[in-house]
Amino acid sequence: MSPAAGFKTPTKPHPLPRALTLDQVRTLVVYLRGQDGRRAQRDAAMLLTGLYAGLRAAELASLRWPAVDVAGAVINIRLSKMNKGRAVKVHGELAKVLASWRIAQGLGDTAPVFSLDGRPIQPNRVGKVARRVALATGLPLTAHVLRHTFATHALRRGGNLYAVSKALGHSQLRQTEIYLAADEADSAPAVDSLPPLDSW
C-alpha cells in the first residue's frame, strides 16, 4: 500500500466569477443606446436580457415569445442546464426594451425572441455579439460575464441568496454563494482605503 494513500490531494481553487463594475455597466448601456438599426436593437435587447435576467447563452438563444410575459413581468425557462424549469422576474426597464424590440422584430407571437429572420439563433451567436460589443467598448464582456454581473449586483443590492439562486437556475445554494465571495474580494480595496483612526 502506498504511504501516500491516506493523503488527499488539494482541490484546485475555483476562480471567482468576473462581473462588470457599475461604471462598466453604464458604459455598456450608453454604447447600446447609441447604436441604430434593427440588428443593433436586437443585440441590445439580447445583452440587456442577459444583464437583467441572468440567462445563459443557450437560454437566450432558445427563448421564444410565448415564454415571455411582458405584462406579467416574467420569463419562463422551460428547461435549463439542470433540466429544471424556472420563472425569472422581468425588471421594468427590461420589459420596456423587450416590448420595443418585439414591435421592431415583427415576426409574430411564436418567433424566437432574438431572431432576425424567424429562425432560432445558435448560442454562439450570443457570444459573438458580446465579443463585438467588447471590442467596440473595451469592456471585458462575454455572455457569461453578463450572468455574473446580474448575480453579483443583485446580491449587492440586498437580493435574497435563495431568490437569486432560483433566478439563475442553480440546483444548490453553494453555486450561488461564490458571488458572495466575489463581493467580499471586490470590497477589499474600499476597506483598505479607509483612513487611520487619527485621520478621519
Residues taking part in catalysis = 56, 81, 144, 147, 170, 179
DSSP class of 4? T
Distances (CA, A) of 146 to 88, 133, 143: 15, 12, 5
The answer to whether 44 touches 33, Cβ cutoff 8 Å, is yes
Closest CA to 110 of 68, 60, 71: 68
Residues 144-154 as b/e (b if ≥16 CB within 10 A, e otherwise) read bbbbbbbbbbb
C-alpha cell at 59: 437560454
Burial 89-109 (b: 16+ CB within 10 A, else e): ebbeebbebbeebbeebebee
Q: CA 66 to CA 109: how far, in whole Å?
A: 7
